[in-house]
Structure 1
Amino acid sequence: MFTQQLEPVAGSLALSALVAAVPLATVLALLGAVRMRAHHAGPVGLAAALAVAWPVFGMPPEQALSSAAQGALFGLFPILWIVVNALWVYRMTVRTRHFDVLRRSFSRLSADPRVQALVIAFCFGALLEALAGFGAPVAISAVMLVALGFDPVRAAVLALVANTAPVAFGAMGTPVVTLAQVTGLPLDSVADVVGRQTPLLALFVPLLLVFLVDGRRGLRETWVPALACGTAFAAAQFLASNYVSAQLADIGAALAGAAALMTVPGVRKPAVTPGDGPAAVPVADPVTGPAAVPVTGPGRDRAPTDVRDRAPDVRDSRRETVRAYAPYALIVAVFSLAQIPPVKDLLSRATRTVDWPFLNVVSPDGKPVGGNVFTLPLIATGGTLVLLAGALTAAVLGVNARTALREWAATVHELRHAIVTVTSVLALAYVMNLSGQAATIGHFVAAAGAGLAFLSPVLGWFGVAVSGSDTSANALFGALQVTAAEQTGLPPVLLAAANSSGGVLGKMISPQNLTIACAAVGLAGREGDLLRKVLLWSLGLLLVMCLIVVGQSTAVLGWMLP
């Protein structure tokens, strides 16, 4: 049995936390500063985590390796299981040219790339996050933007930034449900407070998106539809989370945002002249810098030009248009059906829980940690549901079984580097969590005293940066936030909610999500470039969330709490 230690370095919590942060700092430094490819940086970071776990934190080598294996398996299933099947559906639509039909349909909906970014990255991405999560929204949104003519780097940045708004209530409210379970707080109380924090971000994310697409001109010309979309999204997320159901918050928000956007006069018309659109401008972009990056992955036969230059007079039949939308409608339908209580209960019967071998870990207070067992939701998981939607898609699009299998195998081959990255990063996360490294960092932050309200979202941000999952960060640090709040006299539900709300801003810099985004748009190996482009936005929005939580802990914004 291994008992976690909080202060293994000279009996100092600060020094121990500094050493514990080495693995994650190593990965981020290799990606951002050294510009090492992610499938190389991930294993190096894992080696650093194992080196800290064994000699420093005293975790036996066999248990450290076992925890790494468990993390790698979790990376494969369910994380990569979702991503592979989501991109497989996309590849089939490309092969049958129905993605061309979908692209033309979106371009007719609005020829303005700034509006398209709001519709796809923000609204449709939020709907996918509500139903699936775990990287699928980033992957699907990014490839759809590339197919519409967006530069691959810009598409990946937009997908990552847009994915912040719905994460706390993603996957049918899984993060907040987990937070309530680990803290012992009522779900309604947790959802109420999270629903009074993340909507404040959602108000401004659409404005940020149009700025990322077209700079100041984008803000000047499309601030009205962006603000309308963000306001409707935020209002629906607040109302649903506080008065309806946390599980339905993102679905309602995504639909409300899209509806509000389409009712703004002028959004269906081109806002800029052909040839002068933001996707066609190769310089002076606020995010990506020089454009014209060649597409080498999904959609690689499409040059990144402005959508208005692509066969604007082509008219697709209603039947072909319906078939083009069918794969995504099927994904929504399958996930919605799987959430019906009787169906959900039936699917959960296939879930298996096993004792994980060579792993027996207890926390400093003697309680067994979650890594001692491993849960395999064989059917009731996003990847399997997407696989089912993919099989239905193949039937609808007329793809025979042999071709569908060939496309699935090609998808796995295309994601081979992403598979190495995600499995190694998740292995790193599990080693950090089970060896006590993450707990040491958490206790160090929780010891901030008066500054805890400000640092509470930072702890959630760190947890998601390591694991790539707001659910995992809530499971890891949720109870710790409550304990620290009780010791400092702050409202426990406020800091618990802040863990989740701050965590959503760590998704865009998580190596796992960076890899998924790069793999989706054919930029494998350029995760470091993408990290440098989103890091400042992640930190800037995190600062805003920290100030919101500080305000809610005082009389300044305390009136916002229920």
Structure 2
Amino acid sequence: MTWTQAINPLGNLGLSALVDALPIIFLFCALAIWRIKGHIAGLITLALALVLAMGVHGMPGNMAFLTALYGVMTGLFPIGWIVITAVFLYNLTVKTGQFEIIKDSIASITEDRRLQALLIAFSFGAFLEGAAGFGTPVAITAAMLAGLGFNPLYAAGICLIANTAPVAFGGIGIPIITAGTVTGIDAMAISQMVGRQLPFLSVFVPFWLVFIMAGWKGAIEVMPAILVSGVSFAVAQWFSSNYMTPMLPDILSSLVSIVALVFFLRVWKPKNVWRFADEPPATLKVKKHSAGAVLKAWSPFIVLTVLISDWGLKSVKAVLDKVSIKIVFSGLDKAIIAGGKPLAVVYNFNWLSAGGTAILIAAIISAMILRVGPGQFLEVFAKTLKDLRFALLTIASVLGFAFVANWSGMTPTLGKAFTVTGNFFPFVAPLLGWLGVVITGSDTSSNALFCKMQQITAEQIGVNPVLTVAANSSGGVAGKMISPQSLAVGAASTGLVGREGDLFRFTLPHSIFFTLIISVLTYLQAYVLSWMVPPLTMASKAVTTVQQVSGGTTILVATGIFIVILGLIASRQKGSLEALNGRRSA
């Protein structure tokens, strides 16, 4: 039995698009106005999509529910698996006290507030976005700045604004992977396009942060440091997103930026140490640690970077994919006719080559280095699962909705309706991503909601869909700073609960300004700078060769040797846990 996807089922494009937009409108209202919890709003949205798919588009019930199941499974693996393992690795460093040393190693470098903003809000915040995501960057960096003596409003506002450039690749590349999952476009092609948009913003943001704090004169005084911070971040972001893997840009670019600025500050200092005129007394006690202790604390993320780099290589993937499991969805595989062709629906459970598995291996190796026992290891993992249960349910339900909307014809109908913007659509594309993140608080959710529509609309107007799909993610980064969730986190971490409105007014102009920069850039890349747009590449089955397997095996062996050496060196270092424990009890 086959069924042909129904586009414009009501015979009136405007009316069909309005009806098909109801689940998205409901989700926005549920989150922004009615303040319904994310997982409940996601489940209701999925239910509404199923009703419309069957009742309006005529999708057979068994196909609709199988499509929802496929989306839910995709949301849990590989996307949810990355979320679980990334947060788990971060939680391990917190549980063992090593994260305190990491924070100290950053906060103790300089007393100049402008340079602290660059190191903590921009670079360290990007590192946290790549390693954990889910509000962690703003919560930790804003609390650090406030503890160092920053005006609380500036501490929260600056960290919210700084948390822009890394958001598109946040949480080990989850937004990009999600965009590729819902569109069928190779995630690496999307990563390359985002890596040719955001580096321009990454160079600009450090200057803008200091300008907000200290004005034009204050920014000029530390311009060398601003350039080192922004340019090193942007170059690493461009290189890793274009030539490595979408899972790595945040972590690699943030580490490069931190290291570059730290070494630069050893040979250059500003003439004046700048502070706020009315800043409160510092409450955060910063301790200096030995180089060995710092290496040990950072070692989990060094291991993570190495493994993620390996997992992104085709030769390594060819080795690891030999044990993947493919599940054919009977009753759905080649049963839906879309664009005149039957859809192949095969769920690829590539449990070993999945990015989340690389992170789990990094966590296991880190546990050995940090001397975490099996009991504590399992305890932290269980707590991570418990803390993330509702977030995982939200991701699963949103992905379920996305696939139902895509395969029933709802998303193609909305995409066709957006063609009314004509050649102006590339300018509008980032605004859709911005709106999605403002409401949902997540670039991942925004990509799940809008990327298929971005793809279809671009194809209708003759623009490379890689550009508009990437623009959805790039535009979304500027919406993060004014989303209700981000404002709540920023206010809570700096003692500004009840003043979320002040934070909103502080960040709103910057959010709009950054979005317009991305919109103008996207428009230019569509029609003037089209050479910057990578060719459209659809995700496909990789052809494994003997040479790839041999090369991948060699790389894995070399990686193993490197990690053993790093582990031996790091595990021999004495940490400062006694001092940390004393600081906590004080």
Q: Same-fold call, TM > 0.5? A: yes
* Displacement of 1:137: 4.7
Which residue pairs with 1:354 in the alignment?
327
Is 1:443–2:446 an aligned residue pair?
Answer: no
CA distance in 2, matches of 1:403, 1:500: 40
Which residue pairs with 2:294 in the alignment?
321
- Bigger drift between 49-58 and 245-254 goes to 245-254
Which residue pairs with 1:503 in the alignment?
473
Which residue pairs with 1:294 in the alignment?
none
Which residue pairs with 1:32 in the alignment?
32
Greater radius of gyration (CA):
2
Is 1:163–2:183 an aligned residue pair?
Answer: no
CA distance in 2, matches of 1:323, 1:463: 39
* Displacement of 1:462: 7.6
Q: Aligned pair in 2 of structure 1 residues 127, 227: CA closer, same or farther (>3 Å)?
A: same
Amino acid at match of 2:6: Q
Q: 2:144 aligns with which of 144, 148, 154?
A: 148
CA distance in 1, matches of 2:491, 2:392: 15
Q: Aligned pair in 2 of structure 1 residues 83, 92: CA closer, same or farther (>3 Å)?
A: same
The secondary structure found in structure 2 opposite 1:161 is coil
Which residue pairs with 1:432 in the alignment?
405
The secondary structure found in structure 1 opposite 2:99 is helix
The secondary structure found in structure 1 opposite 2:325 is strand
* Displacement of 1:349: 1.8
CA distance in 2, matches of 1:208, 1:412: 38
- Show structure 1 runs of 5+ residues with no match: 281-305, 487-491
* Displacement of 1:241: 7.3
CA distance in 2, matches of 1:143, 1:95: 17
Q: 2:375 aligns with which of 402, 409, 418?
A: 402
Q: Aligned pair in 2 of structure 1 residues 434, 92: CA closer, same or farther (>3 Å)?
A: same
2:197 touches 2:474 (CA, 8 Å); kept in 1?
Answer: no
Is 1:476–2:452 an aligned residue pair?
Answer: yes
* Displacement of 1:448: 3.1
Q: Aligned pair in 2 of structure 1 residues 83, 171: CA closer, same or farther (>3 Å)?
A: closer
Is 1:6–2:7 an aligned residue pair?
Answer: yes
Q: Aligned pair in 2 of structure 1 residues 319, 198: CA closer, same or farther (>3 Å)?
A: closer
Which residue pairs with 1:375 in the alignment?
348
Which residue pairs with 1:272 in the alignment?
275
* Displacement of 1:404: 0.8
Measured on the aligned residues, the alpha-carbon RMSD in Å equals: 4.7
CA distance in 2, matches of 1:138, 1:408: 17
CA distance in 2, matches of 1:107, 1:220: 24
Q: Aligned pair in 2 of structure 1 residues 409, 239: CA closer, same or farther (>3 Å)?
A: closer
1:457 touches 1:545 (CA, 8 Å); kept in 2?
Answer: yes
CA distance in 2, matches of 1:256, 1:276: 33
Q: Aligned pair in 2 of structure 1 residues 411, 112: CA closer, same or farther (>3 Å)?
A: farther
* Displacement of 1:389: 1.0
CA distance in 2, matches of 1:268, 1:96: 39
* Displacement of 1:485: 4.1
Q: Aligned pair in 2 of structure 1 residues 344, 462: CA closer, same or farther (>3 Å)?
A: farther
Provide, for residues 257-278 of structure 1, a one-character-per-residue CA deviation record: whole Å limited to 9, x for no partner: 44554436447996426x955x
CA distance in 2, matches of 1:61, 1:102: 52
2:487 touches 2:504 (CA, 8 Å); kept in 1?
Answer: no
Which residue pairs with 1:16 in the alignment?
16
CA distance in 2, matches of 1:141, 1:269: 29
* Displacement of 1:410: 1.1
Which residue pairs with 2:81 in the alignment?
81
CA distance in 1, matches of 2:490, 2:78: 17
1:68 touches 1:427 (CA, 8 Å); kept in 2?
Answer: yes
Q: Aligned pair in 2 of structure 1 residues 181, 70: CA closer, same or farther (>3 Å)?
A: closer
The secondary structure found in structure 2 opposite 1:148 is helix
The secondary structure found in structure 1 opposite 2:108 is helix
* Displacement of 1:70: 2.0
- Show structure 2 runs of 5+ residues with no match: 147-151, 535-586
Is 1:229–2:199 an aligned residue pair?
Answer: no
* Displacement of 1:205: 3.2
* Displacement of 1:22: 1.8
Provide, for residues 231-285 of structure 1, a one-character-per-residue CA deviation record: whole Å limited to 9, x for no partner: 444456567878x778797787556544554436447996426x955xx6xxxxx
CA distance in 2, matches of 1:149, 1:419: 30
CA distance in 1, matches of 2:159, 2:392: 18
2:203 touches 2:233 (CA, 8 Å); kept in 1?
Answer: yes
The secondary structure found in structure 1 opposite 2:59 is coil
The secondary structure found in structure 1 opposite 2:164 is helix
Provide, for residues 176-213 of structure 1, a one-character-per-residue CA deviation record: whole Å limited to 9, x for no partner: 99999849xx96xx8887655333333333345557xx
- Bigger drift between 413-422 and 171-180 goes to 171-180
Amino acid at match of 1:148: M
Q: Aligned pair in 2 of structure 1 residues 509, 121: CA closer, same or farther (>3 Å)?
A: same
Match runs of 1:74-473 below 5 Å: 74-111=74-111, 115-116=115-116, 118-119=118-119, 122-123=122-123, 136-137=132-133, 141-142=137-138, 144-145=140-141, 148=144, 157=160, 160-164=163-167, 170=173, 182=185, 196-207=196-207, 215-217=212-214, 221-222=218-219, 224=223, 225-226=225-226, 228-234=228-234, 254=254, 257-258=257-258, 261-262=261-262, 263=264, 265-266=268-269, 271-272=274-275, 308-312=282-286, 314-360=287-333, 361-369=335-343, 372-458=345-431, 468=444
Which residue pairs with 2:522 in the alignment?
549
The secondary structure found in structure 1 opposite 2:342 is coil
Which residue pairs with 2:565 in the alignment?
none
Percent of aligned positions with the same letter in both sequences?
Answer: 30
1:125 touches 1:137 (CA, 8 Å); kept in 2?
Answer: no
CA distance in 1, matches of 2:173, 2:322: 23
CA distance in 2, matches of 1:434, 1:408: 35
1:478 touches 1:496 (CA, 8 Å); kept in 2?
Answer: no
TM-score by length of 2: 0.70
CA distance in 1, matches of 2:174, 2:394: 23
* Displacement of 1:388: 0.9
Provide, for residues 38-62 of structure 1, a one-character-per-residue CA deviation record: whole Å limited to 9, x for no partner: 2322222222222222212222232
CA distance in 2, matches of 1:558, 1:324: 44
* Displacement of 1:217: 3.8
Which residue pairs with 2:579 in the alignment?
none
1:128 touches 1:136 (CA, 8 Å); kept in 2?
Answer: yes
* Displacement of 1:226: 4.0
Amino acid at match of 1:480: I
* Displacement of 1:23: 1.3
Provide, for residues 300-348 of structure 1, a one-character-per-residue CA deviation record: whole Å limited to 9, x for no partner: xxxxxx8x53223x34343322221111112112212333444332122
* Displacement of 1:409: 0.6
Aligned length: 507
The secondary structure found in structure 1 opposite 2:367 is helix
Q: Aligned pair in 2 of structure 1 residues 255, 345: CA closer, same or farther (>3 Å)?
A: same
- Bigger drift between 141-150 and 246-255 goes to 246-255
